[in-house]
Structure formats: C-alpha cells, structure tokens
Amino acid sequence: MDSVYTYWNATGSDLWVVPAAGGGQPQPFLQTKTHEVCGQFSPDGKWVAYTSDESGSFQTYIRGFPKGEKFQVSRDGGTMQRWRADGKELFFRSPNGNLMAVDIRAGAAIELGLPNKLFSLTDAGAIVPSAGFSAAADGKKFLLAVETMTGAAEPMTAVLNWMSLLRR
C-alpha cells in the first residue's frame, strides 16, 4: 500500500504520497494554501483521513484516493485520526481532549455516522492529551502514553559519543 506523509514548505504543509511499488517518486495528494497534516490511508487504500485547518480550525476529513470527494468527519474540531482495522470506524482526538469515534460505511461512496465520545484522554491518564494513540484491530482497546506515579524519578543514563563505541 502507498504511504502518505506531511510535507512542510514555506506556505504551510501538504500531503504527499509515496507509491509502494515500482520505485515511483513522491507525488502531491493535497496541496492548498491551508495546512493538511497527519494523513492516514484507510485499510482498503481507497480513502485518506487527514487533518486540515481549511475551515479556520483543525478538523478531521476523509477524501477519496487518488482523487475523490471530501467529507468532514469532525464537527467541533479533530486531529490525529486513526482507522479501525476493518475501516468501519474512524477515531480522532477532539480539541477538549476526548477520544471520538465515527461509524463509517464505505463503498463507491462513503456514509458517516455522528461523532461519539468514547472517553477523555486526560481522565484516562494520558501524559499529554494531544499525544498519539493506537487502536486495537477491533477498536475496543487503545494504547495511550500514561503517567505512572512512582514517587521518585527513575535514573537515566545518557551515552555520549556512542558512535565511537561502534568502531571497536
């Protein structure tokens, strides 16, 4: 499957795609005067979920790939979208730190349900509510970075000039 990435330039950020086969060159997918970031292909490769500020605030969108109609998924802001493994649900972070879910029915066209709050990332103990997350294949479990309360800082070891150790 192709890969999508954010390309930062003098006017902002755009989404580019790298073909998975054939050694093709990266090509622009979305190039506008606004920011497009955090693109992610649907499991079937027919849709790209991404974040854009084209409305004046960051929202989550889905667009057909390689060319297709655009659909706004979030209503009150959304970032850091992740597809469920079967493509039937999309998760995203709302501006107030909630993890949201939207039912997706995709075929030749796409039908979106309404965004539903799953839980608060802050209440779940996420270190930074805007930190990334991963969803299990069935969308019922999530992996979050959480803070542990040990009472004392753990020791840390920093190895300087480590490249010189490789030459031995």
pLDDT beyond 70 at 126: no
| Host domain of residue 103 | 3-166
The pair of structure tokens assigned to 13 is 């950020």
pTM, 2 dp:
0.82
Counting Cβ atoms within 10 Å, is residue 141 exposed (0-12), middle (13-18) or buried (19+)?
exposed
Coil, strand or helix at 79: strand
Could you give the CA distance from residue 29 to residue 63 in angstroms, rounded to a whole number?
10
What CATH number should be reported for the domain holding residue 68?
2.120.10.30
Number of structural domains found in the chain: 1
Give the mean pLDDT of the chain: 88
Q: Each residue of 28-66: pLDDT tens digit?
A: 999 999 999 999 999 999 999 999 999 999 999 999 999
Predicted confidence (pLDDT) at residue 16 exceeds the cutoff of 90: yes
Two tokens, residue 31: 């190039």
Does residue 101 register a pLDDT over 80? Answer: yes
Section 10-29 average pLDDT:
88
Provide the pLDDT for residue 147.
Answer: 67
Please state, in angstroms and as integers, the Cα–Cα distance from residue 16 to each residue in 9, 66, 69, following that order: 12, 11, 17
Q: Which two tokens stand for residue 53?
A: 């500020």
